[in-house]
Amino acid sequence: MYINIYPNTSEWNTLTQRPYKDNSLVSERVKEIINSVKQNGDSAILRLTKALDAPSLERITVGLDEIEFSKTRVSVDLKNAILLAKENITTFHTSQIKSEPKTETSAGVTCWRKSVAIQKIGLYIPGGSAPLFSTILMLGIPAQLGGCEDIIICTPPDKQGNIDPAILFTADLLGIKTIYKVGGAQAIAAMSLGTESITKVDKIFGPGNQYVTEAKSQIQSLGVAIDMPAGPSELLIIADSNATSSFVAADLLSQAEHGPDSQVILVTDQEEKAKQILAEVTIQLSELPRKSIAEKSIANSRIIILKDIESCIQFSNVYAPEHLILALDNAETYSEKIINAGSVFLGRYSCESAGDYASGTNHTLPTNGYAKSYSGVSVDSFVKKITFQNITKKGIQNIGPSIELMAAAEGLDAHKNAVTIRLNTIDNER
């Protein structure tokens, strides 16, 4: 990890840059994949999946027999852990559902808003070396609470054409039965365009590698929404003199093991504490099964020493991390000063892993600085808000003259006339 001691604020923008990666070749390849799926549907999906994931795959649809068999291959302890997470995630996301009152903005003018579920949802669930069955909970639960009727899952198979049992068990736990053995950009293309087997959806959710991320970016031009711009995972920790070095090191490595392009940042006002944490990182890293991945991430990461905790908070707001841990005494007292972050973890025992799995908050969060303008996934992500207005005769008389003046000032005479014709009719009725 690079160590930067007391950098000037003029250097902060440079220090908050994420690792650069030239995606031009990825972009071209994704375009080719999308066009292939558009022209050839299921045959393109099967060909790409055989080439990239499972050479002997014969069908892309997960059968009910496979789902049932998965239940026998997940341990009781893991099933219970998933059930606990499901309960907490459901509890937290249920609290987000609120009805909005009707509001009389002027006499005779009543306005209100209601939430309407997005009908068709596609969930992308990464497989491979880290099958993210937890993401099914994070996306499927708020989708169901929001009222989404059709939810499908695409997830890549292993080389034998199988889906990780925990993924199938978790999907079944939520009642999601439509699952496809498709990964990568081809999965995003299939859900965006629709094929003979895969339903075209209205919005796509879920993390993925650079091909998935690029595909999600490109398919927006096809009229399909995505959850948010996404990139590699990231974590920023602010630590004071009393932070537990082993805890902080473990948290840094928990995020670093996501992938070689992940980034972790430690910000502190204590140079000696930074050295202690770095020593702990070295010790713990040597024992990780995913050491080679975490090492590459650590190489992209930084330790920044600033003059005080207030400056550390300011730096964090410039960086706008996906995950932010405040390893501070009285951490909650600083919470109001956080203005840019995806999800914040307060205090010594609030590890980022808790948010990834079972505390109840959502782990699908904005990365790459997008926390300045985007929120993490919530029930609101799965609904659209429709406004209504009911204007009575008295109401149009109250606001009509103002509408006429404003429309005329903008040169929109038809807008003005839509009001004038009503006001004249009311006058003639008298």
Q: pLDDT for 105-114, tens place per residue?
A: 999 999 999 9
pLDDT at 223: 87
Residue 146 confidence class, pLDDT cut points 50, 70, 90: very high
pLDDT at 2: 85
Between these two residues, 18 and 350, which has the higher pLDDT value?
350
Residue 427 confidence class, pLDDT cut points 50, 70, 90: very high
User: Considering only CA atoms, which of 322, 403, 325, 331 is closest in space to residue 367?
Assistant: 322
Share of the chain above pLDDT 70, in %: 100
Which one of 214, 234, 280, 322 is the catalytic residue?
Answer: 322
Residue 259: pLDDT over 90: no
Active site residue 322: yes
- C-alpha 177/C-alpha 64 separation (Å) is 8
Residue 221 confidence class, pLDDT cut points 50, 70, 90: confident
Q: Which two tokens stand for residue 88?
A: 């907490």
Active site residue 323: yes
- C-alpha 90/C-alpha 378 separation (Å) is 11
Q: Which fold has domain 24-102+119-228?
A: Rossmann fold (3.40.50)
Answer for the pair 116, 384: CB distance below 8 angstroms, yes or no: yes
Domain spanning 392-429: CATH 3.40.50.1220:
no
Residue 282 confidence class, pLDDT cut points 50, 70, 90: very high
Which one of 93, 257, 280, 323 is the catalytic residue?
Answer: 323
Answer for the pair 37, 60: CB distance below 8 angstroms, yes or no: no
Between these two residues, 404 and 1, which has the higher pLDDT value?
404
User: Considering only CA atoms, which of 297, 168, 221, 283 is closest in space to residue 38?
Assistant: 221
Residue 250: pLDDT over 90: yes
In the predicted model, what is the mean pLDDT of residues 374-381? 97
- C-alpha 371/C-alpha 161 separation (Å) is 37
In the predicted model, what is the mean pLDDT of residues 194-204? 96
In the predicted model, what is the mean pLDDT of residues 63-68? 96
User: In CATH, what is the architecture of 231-375?
Assistant: 3-Layer(aba) Sandwich (3.40)
Q: Where are the domains of the chain?
A: 24-102+119-228, 231-375, 392-429
Answer for the pair 119, 149: CB distance below 8 angstroms, yes or no: yes
Residues 85-101 have pLDDT tens digits of 999 999 999 999 999 99
Mean residue pLDDT of the chain comes to: 95
> Which pTM value belongs to this model?
0.93
Residue 192: pLDDT over 80: yes
Residue 215 confidence class, pLDDT cut points 50, 70, 90: very high
Answer for the pair 140, 176: CB distance below 8 angstroms, yes or no: yes
Residue 150: pLDDT over 90: yes
Mutual orientation of helices 24-40 and 210-219 as an angle, nearest 10°?
60
Coil, strand, or helix at residue 237? strand
Residue 411: pLDDT over 90: yes
Share of the chain above pLDDT 90, in %: 92
- C-alpha 188/C-alpha 37 separation (Å) is 10
In the predicted model, what is the mean pLDDT of residues 381-394? 97
**Common-topology check for domains 24-102+119-228 and 231-375:** yes
